[in-house]
Amino acid sequence: MHNFDYHRPTSLADAAKRLSGEAKLVAGGMTLIPTLKQRLAQPSSLVDLGGIAELRGIKPEGGGLTIGAMTTHAEVAHSAEVKKTIPALAVLAEGIGDPQVRNRGTIGGSISNNDPAADYPAGLVALGATVITDKRRIAADDFFKGMFETALQDGEIVTAVSFPRPDKAAYMKFPNPASRYAMVGVFVARTGGGIRVAVTGAGPGVFRATEMEKALAGNFSADAIKSVKIPAAGLNSDMHGSAEYRAHLVNVMARRAVTACS
C-alpha cells in the first residue's frame, strides 16, 4: 500500500470538499482496499463516507424504496421493508460475496465501482431504478457505462438509489464458486412499465436482453424464451467459463428467474 491521507467527514458537503486531486471515495472498501494493497491504485487521499449518517438507511417512498448509498448488503438482505416491497432485491443482496463482504460492502460502493460481475447493476437496471447523487438523478439505464465505468462525474457522490415497486421480480445467478461474483446473473422484473431482463457477469457490463423482453411481453413464461439465444460474441471468456458457456447460462438463469416470478 502506498501512503495516502485519510478523511472521515460527517457531512456530504464536507465530503465533496475533500474530493480534490487524486482523492478517492471509500464506502465499504471491498474492492478499493484490496486494490490499494496490491498497489494497483495510488490515491492522494481517501474520503471515507462511513461517518455520514444521512447516507444510510432504507425508506419506503412512493410505493417503492429508497436505499441510502452506505446501506450494507446485509442490511438490505435482512430488511423487512425490502423483503416486503422487493423481495428479489433482498435475495440478491443475500447472495453477494460472503458474510464479511455483506457486512462491509454497500450498495453505493458496488454500483459506483460497477464491476462487470457485480449483482446490483442487474437489479437496478431490471427494476428501472434511479441513482441519486449529490448533484442529480440518473436512470440506471444511463448510469452503467460498461466495465468499471459509470456516468458519475469527478467529485460526484452517490447518495441513494430509488427503486419502484415491481409487480413481480426474481434474480437468479450462477456464482463463481470462490468469489461468489456472478458468472452470470439475470434479474427479471415485471412492472407497470413492462418487462425487463438485465444480465450481469456475462458481458463487459450489465446489459438488457431485449429479445427476451420482447418474447416475454407476449407470453410471460420460461418457455417463451427457451429458444432465445444470446450471442456469445462479446461476452466474457475466462478460466472459469467460456463466452459460449456464459451465453448458455444467461438463457438458463433467465428462464429460472421467469419461473420464480410466476
Q: Which residues bind another protein (CB under 8 A)?
A: 98, 174, 176-179, 239-242, 245, 248-249, 252
212-230 burial: b if 16+ Cβ within 10 Å, else e: bbebbeeebebebbeebeb
Between 40 and 239, name the residue whose CB sits nearer to another protein.
Answer: 239
Burial of 241 (0-12, 13-18, 19+ CB in 10 A): buried
Between 89 and 117, name the residue whose CB sits nearer to another protein.
Answer: 117
Cell of 55: 447516507
Determine the Cα–Cα distance for residues 93 and 101; give it in Å rounded to an integer: 11
Shortest reach from residue 23's CB to another protein, in Å: 22
Candidates 218, 171, 188; CA nearest to 128 is 188
CA 177 to chain centre: 19
Between 92 and 160, name the residue whose CB sits nearer to another protein.
Answer: 92
Between 129 and 247, name the residue whose CB sits nearer to another protein.
Answer: 247
Shortest reach from residue 117's CB to another protein, in Å: 11
Between 69 and 172, name the residue whose CB sits nearer to another protein.
Answer: 172
Determine the Cα–Cα distance for residues 94 and 103; give it in Å rounded to an integer: 10
Between 174 and 187, name the residue whose CB sits nearer to another protein.
Answer: 174
Strands annotated E in 69-206: 130-133, 137-139, 158-163, 168-175, 182-191, 194-200
**Beta bridge mates, 170:** 188
Between 163 and 174, name the residue whose CB sits nearer to another protein.
Answer: 174
Shortest reach from residue 226's CB to another protein, in Å: 11
Candidates 33, 30, 9; CA nearest to 19 is 9
The enclosing H or E element of 162 equals: strand 158-163
CA 110 to chain centre: 6
Shortest reach from residue 98's CB to another protein, in Å: 8
Shortest reach from residue 48's CB to another protein, in Å: 23
Shortest reach from residue 153's CB to another protein, in Å: 31
Helix (H, G, I), strand (E, B) or coil at 80: helix
Is the CB of residue 58 less than 8 Å from the CB of residue 78?
no
Shortest reach from residue 235's CB to another protein, in Å: 13
Q: For the chain, how far is it from start to end, CA to CA, in angstroms?
A: 49
